[in-house]
Structure 1
Amino acid sequence: MAVQDEWLWYGGRVCLDYVNTLRDRWKEPRDTLREPDDVLRWLHTAGLTGESIPTPARPEAVLTSARRLREAIDRAVMAAADSDLPDTADLSLINSAAMAAPRPAPQVAIVGGRLAPGNRKAGAEDAAAGLGLVAHDAVELLLSNEIRWVRVCGADRCALRFIDRSPAHNRRWCSMARCGNRTKVRSHQLRHGGQ
């Protein structure tokens, strides 16, 4: 797998980018979280943890729980996006994981000559807290109006999840550069006899 394709950031939310660590869901699923270190690297690359978080005492358990959380988030988000209620077991798992998220301290800043809320940045100190931040984002998405705009990429082999923030809410591809152009080129070649 090419380094630039290892993790994709087209979801529009950290929880969807995390769900997208399982690729090609339609055909032959390909997991980019193959070992415990992959979970730690993804959390760091996503900006949720520092570079040197402690190695978990039970690394395989972290990988197992990370994958379970990913699939629970996917099922819950897709159900809610289809105006269905998610399974209570999935919600329980997401809520439990979200409880491990660090609570950022409120910040104050001067914006436009007035006091305003500043950036609240919370960095997780271990894998459970990092996954807690992912779960916290999933909770926020499930409770937001944005849940109506969750889409699945229209490419026949992709299935990445994303938030459709286009003005008309008619985006079809996870990314025009990744799937949109490939699909359009393939369609053009089929219409014109492969020329």
Structure 2
Amino acid sequence: MPTPVNLVESPKVGDHPALDVLNTVFLLDGVIVDSLQTDQDALQWLAAAGWRIEHDLARSKPGALLRSARSLREAIRKIIETRKAGKRADPAPLNAFLAQSQSHLKLSSAQKGTFHLERHWQQRTPEEILAPIAEAAAELLATGDFNLVRRCEDSECILWFYDRTRSHHRRWCSMATCGNRNKVAAFRHRHQSTT
């Protein structure tokens, strides 16, 4: 069971919002931590992921958004892990979230007479608030290159990422943490072997 945590942000190393939401559960000093502990945590995570949130939490039952966010996260986790294992995944839990999405496109004027499109989502229910994540996950599952969806190779890490490197040889969630730890360990192992 993940440990409750306050004031610790989840790593943003997934290079895809569907993988970043999985990474809201991570290891910290060997302990599994869940950075989503409150409705406000879920709203802050969505805002940090780039979605404009216009929902007033006072209109919802306390904990409803948190429960829905965790449920969606685990539905995404299960389908991604199943697909990565080469098995047929059941999309029904994710489809349940997608069915509750209410969105539309809005055409806006930009500079020099050009236009740009923005997608706007209804935000009356927790499931509608989470719709952008459900849609991002569905898009990844339908159109993403699953050879590039990977779990960090560090044995002490549980994070996922989408390998967008040019060579597609990314092995670690982050070179600054897991990559460095493994390079140091490999160096020590080579050094001990020669002495």
Report what 1:40 is aligned to.
43
Q: Is the 8 A contact 1:151 1:163 kept in 2?
A: yes
- For 1:122, the aligned partner's letter is H
Post-superposition offset of 1:159:
1.7
Aligned length: 186
Gaps of 5+ in 2: none
Q: Which moved more, 1:100-109 or 1:131-140?
A: 100-109
TM-score (norm 1): 0.79
Query: In the alignment, what sits opposite 1:153?
Result: 152
Change (3 A) 1:129 1:184: same
Equivalent of 1:69 in 62, 69, 72: 72
Normalising by structure 2, we get a TM-score of 0.79
- CA distance in 1: counterparts of 2:62 and 2:22, whole angstroms: 20
Structure of higher RCO (CA pairs closer than 8 Å, 6+ residues apart): 1
Q: Flag the 1:40–1:8 CA change in 2: closer, same or farther, 3 A.
A: same
Equivalent-residue separation in structure 2 for 1:54 and 1:62 (angstroms): 9
Q: Does the aligned pair in 1 maintain the 2:153–2:171 contact within 8 Å? A: yes
Alpha-carbon RMSD: 3.0
Single out whichever of 72-81 and 135-144 deviates more from structure 2: 72-81
Per the TM alignment, residue 124 of structure 1 is displaced from its structure 2 partner at its CA by 5.8
2:58 matches 1:60: no
Is there any run of 5+ residues in structure 1 with no aligned partner, and where? Answer: none
1:122 maps to which of 120, 123, 126:
120
Note the C-alpha offset of 1:40.
1.6
Kept after mapping to 2: 8 A contact 1:94/1:135: yes
The whole-number CA distance in structure 2 between the counterparts of 1:141 and 1:162 is 12
Distance 1:178 1:104 in 2: 40
Q: 1:23 aligns with which of 14, 17, 26?
A: 26
1:97 paired residue number: 97
Per residue, is there more strand in 1 or in 2?
Answer: 2
Identity level (%): 31
**1:140 lines up with 2:143 in the alignment:** no
CA distance in 2, matches of 1:125, 1:192: 57
Shift of 1:104: 3.6
CA separation in 2, counterparts of 1:56 and 1:18? 24
Q: Distance in 1 between matches of 2:166 and 2:154?
A: 21
1:133, distance to aligned residue in structure 2 (A): 0.8
Is the alpha carbon distance of 1:123 and 1:189 closer, same or farther for their aligned partners in structure 2, counting shifts above 3 Å? farther
Partner of 1:13: 16
Match of 1:162 in 2: 161
